[in-house]
């Protein structure tokens, strides 16, 4: 029975080590956030040609950050949500949309200066899209 326990412990530790070795390098590079978890203007992935209507467009006016996804809104195909995150993944704001909304536009008040912010736009068909910017 002890040999079986030792075997299971060793197997689990080895598996965990292999997973950590595979995942850690990707997660260690903060610049990869916009390509690991989401599609972007520079990484359209399987949705090649869709960034123009899915990647969030950012406009900054003082402490107001406007996020717009230039995408039609219909029952069958629409933008579900915008989120604004800082570089640590803290949510600074979010807006939920409905298929009946005319446009996917959000305005967030962001106090202070940030070297990295991430605007996320989620489409019900074409997944999550991100635009990285600073304020």
Ranking 5-9, 13-17, 22-26 by mean pLDDT, the lowest is 22-26
Greater confidence (105 vs 6) lies with 105
How far apart CA 22 and CA 17 sit, in angstroms, is 9
User: How would residue 12 be classed by pLDDT, with cut points 50, 70 and 90?
Assistant: very low
| Residue spans per domain, the chain | 1-31, 37-133
- Are the C-beta atoms of residues 131 and 119 closer than 8 Å to each other? yes
pLDDT value for 19: 35
Please compute the mean of the pLDDT values over residues 114-122 and round it to a whole number. 96
As a whole number of angstroms, the distance between CA 26 and CA 118 comes to 18
Nearest to 123 by CA among 83, 66, 85, 77: 77
Average pLDDT (121-133) is 97
Q: In the prediction, which pLDDT does 38 show?
A: 92
Architecture of domain 37-133: Sandwich (2.60)
CA dist list (Å): 71 to 21, 45, 75, 77, 81: 39, 18, 13, 9, 12
The 10 Å Cβ neighbour count of residue 43 is: 17
- Please give the average per-residue pLDDT across 14-18, as a whole number: 40
The pLDDT, as a whole number, for residue 43 is 93
pLDDT tier at 34, thresholds 50, 70, 90: low
Among 13-22, 52-61, 98-107, the minimum mean pLDDT is found in 13-22
């Amino acid at each position: 029975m002890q040999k079986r326990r030792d075997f299971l412990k060793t197997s689990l530790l080895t598996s965990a080590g292999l997973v950590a070795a595979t995942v850690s390098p990707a997660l260690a590079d903060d610049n990869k956030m916009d390509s690991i978890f989401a599609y972007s203007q520079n990484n359209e992935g399987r949705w090649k040609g869709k960034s123009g209507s899915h990647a969030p467009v950012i406009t900054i006016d003082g402490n107001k950050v406007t996020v717009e996804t230039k995408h039609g809104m219909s029952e069958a195909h629409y933008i579900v949500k915008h989120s604004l995150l800082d570089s640590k993944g803290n949510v600074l704001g979010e807006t939920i949309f409905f298929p009946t909304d005319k446009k996917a536009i959000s305005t967030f008040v962001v106090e202070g200066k940030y070297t990295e912010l991430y605007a996320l736009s989620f489409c019900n068909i074409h997944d999550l899209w991100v635009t990285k910017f600073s304020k």
